[in-house]
Amino acid sequence: KQWYQRRVAITAGILKVDQIFNAKPAIMRAFQIAKNSTKSNKDSGDEFIELREFKFFLLSLRQYFEYWVAFCRTDEDGDRRISVEEFKKSQSMIEVWVGPIADVEGEFRKIDTNGGGTILFDEFCTWAINKNLDLEDDDDDIAM
């Protein structure tokens, strides 16, 4: 129980405990990237995380939780899609995380790689990674 409480305290700066259970897209991204990080030597194939991939999974999970929090802060109506209006409204907050954005609508179109008119979490993650997104209110030192 003490380990759990310590983890909750550490995670609280990034993600509230009740949000963890709603963060399936972040968990799935971390799982997918970790399970594909090395070729499996087991008969079970590459569909499972092996011990040698577990540390990478945990580091990825922490990073994707950060992207999930940023995504949710931008997705004001909670439909798991960011509209151009939500992106424009959140510009000043997003600029704290990634730096100045000169053309907001142009940046939105760049992120929306499938052309669906909204930004999905996968698209957001690709962009966040390229921009080195870093939330201003998380504690990066704790995760290391």
pLDDT at 144: 47
Q: Is the pTM of this model over 0.75?
A: yes
Q: How far apart are CA 79 and CA 75, in angstroms?
A: 7
For residue 80, give the nearest of 124, 123, 29, 120 by alpha carbon: 120
Angle between helices 121-131 and 91-98 (to 10 degrees): 50
Q: What is the dihedral of CA 103, 70, 125, 33, to 10 degrees?
A: 170
Average pLDDT, the chain: 84
For the CA atoms of the chain, what is the radius of gyration?
A: 16
| 119 DSSP β-pair partners | 82
* Per-residue model confidence as pLDDT tens digits over 81-120: 999 999 999 999 999 999 999 999 999 999 999 999 999 9
For residue 118, give the nearest of 142, 144, 88, 84 by alpha carbon: 84
Higher pLDDT, 19 or 86: 86
pLDDT at 9: 46
Higher pLDDT, 44 or 106: 106
- In angstroms, the Cα distances linking 55 to 11, 30, 61 are 17, 11, 10
